[in-house]
Amino acid sequence: MRIVVALLSIVLLLAASAAPAADRVVASTLDNGLRVLLLEDHRSPIVSFQVWYRVGSRDEHRGATGIAHFLEHLMFKGTPARGPKQFARLVEENGGQDNAFTSQDVTSYFVDIAADKIDLVIELEADRMQNLLLDPKEINAEREVVIEERRTRTEDDPSGFLGEEVGSIAFKAHPYGSPIIGWMEDIKRITPAEIRAFYKTYYVPNNAIVVAVGDFRAPAVLEKIQKTFGRIPRAQTPPPVLAVEPTQNGERRVIVKKEAELPVVYMAWHVPNHRANDAPALEVLSTILSGGRASRLYRDLVYQRQLALEAGGDYSYFALDPNLFWFWATPMPGQTSETLEAELAKHMERLKTEPVTDEELARAKNQIESAFVFQEDSVHRRAALLARFELIGGYAQTDSFMTKIRAVTAADLTRVAGAWFAPERRSVGVLLPKPR
């Protein structure tokens, strides 16, 4: 306990000296609705320039799942001014790195590069926000790439495949139940016209956030952004996601038989997101259960009793809509999926009646805070964190996040476990290996 308290004290000192410093962010909203967040960081001559679009798989319709991720691929296929693959080539030639990702809620593009090349990046990102080619030949060629990505990452991955199946039964109404990469049938069917319409609807300045952190002068960079992105006209506000997931009234279960070495077990419960008062307690609870090798699941099931080869979990604090609280485990050879399912359920029931120890609570808060503070060492992660909080209500919330985490008590965790993890409201997935 003394060691944990000492570590927590060190982290608190780090937090005091390297806080997110939201008051130093230069924030502006251009006339066309583009939100801009700039934070100077002169520790090294680099910059992370990121564009976050408020569109992900939650904005898709049935029959067109995966279109947001598909479009992410196509954003690298050129504009009239710069042909296919020229974006990545120019970034690489200037010593930078670029990439992108699509999630349920957002699509994000970033370039990490020497600070004196920021003008180039601003021009490139403003160009593809408005002028993407979307050539049908390029779309059909990239379709095969996305199909192969789905096959590799989901259909040939037992854990990923099962997680997708559990998500699909957990949600009846909300699009969170669809996979981010999309269903294979939709990927094969989506037309160039649909992709172009999606691009025109969501890739507009009033649906985007530009975040830059690094070695620059914020007023000068803001002026450059105004001259480039500011020329792009405001568009109609994209349609909101109105779906609300109804209360689950009974356990849902899916059993999948698939070629695999070992079984896999998933459990998921519907829980609130950042808007709820219970969100900080759920974040701490997730860390206690599945946050690394000191977590309850790993320590008990993997290390001590050797019932599982691996065990983990997740909670989507930053989700725009209420999402899922996950557990998963892979039995050791010789153990059964029934054993692991029963053990996962026991761990959740134990939380409802037995308060966590002071040491566990301190360790979890320490883990969350250290991860939060150590993001300050990277201009890329600092920019991403500002964008995350801006998406859920404002970048200034970075300064209050840890205050909420520190306030969580053992009694809060017991109450939250009892409130949200009823057996009749869980969705369970079991993958059973079948002979190759």
Nearest CA to 370 out of 17, 11, 9, 13 is that of 11
Q: If we measure between CA atoms, which residue out of 266, 263, 265 comes closest to residue 332?
A: 263
Contact yes or no for 73/7 (Cβ under 8 A): no
**How many angstroms separate the CA atoms of 75 and 373, rounded?**
32
State how far the Cα of 294 lies from the Cα of 27, in Å rounded to an integer: 39
| Gap between the Cα atoms of 250 and 278, Å rounded | 23
How far apart are the C-alpha atoms of 129 and 269, rounded to whole Å? 37
What is the phi/psi pair of residue 386, to 5°?
-60, -40
What is the 8-class DSSP label of residue 377?
A: G
- Distance, in Å, from the CA atom of 316 to the CA atom of 404, rounded to the nearest integer, reads 16
CA distance 283 to 408: 10
The Cα 352–Cα 418 span in angstroms is: 5
Question: Given CA atoms 176, 181, 186, 190 in this order, what sign does their dihedral have?
Answer: positive
With a CB cutoff of 8 Å and minimum separation 6, the contacts of 83 are none
Contact predicate 269/325, CB 8 Å: yes
Let me know if 283 is a catalytic residue: no
Which 3-state string (H, E, C) describes 198-241?
Answer: HHHHHCCHHHEEEEEEECCCHHHHHHHHHHHHHHCCCCCCCCCC
Which of 72, 283, 343, 390 is catalytic? The answer is 72
If you compute the radius of gyration of the chain from its CA atoms, what whole number of angstroms results? 23
Cα 272 versus chain centre, distance: 16
Q: What are the angstrom distances between the C-alpha of 232 and each of 63, 127, 207, 208?
A: 31, 9, 12, 12
Please identify every residue annotated as catalytic.
72
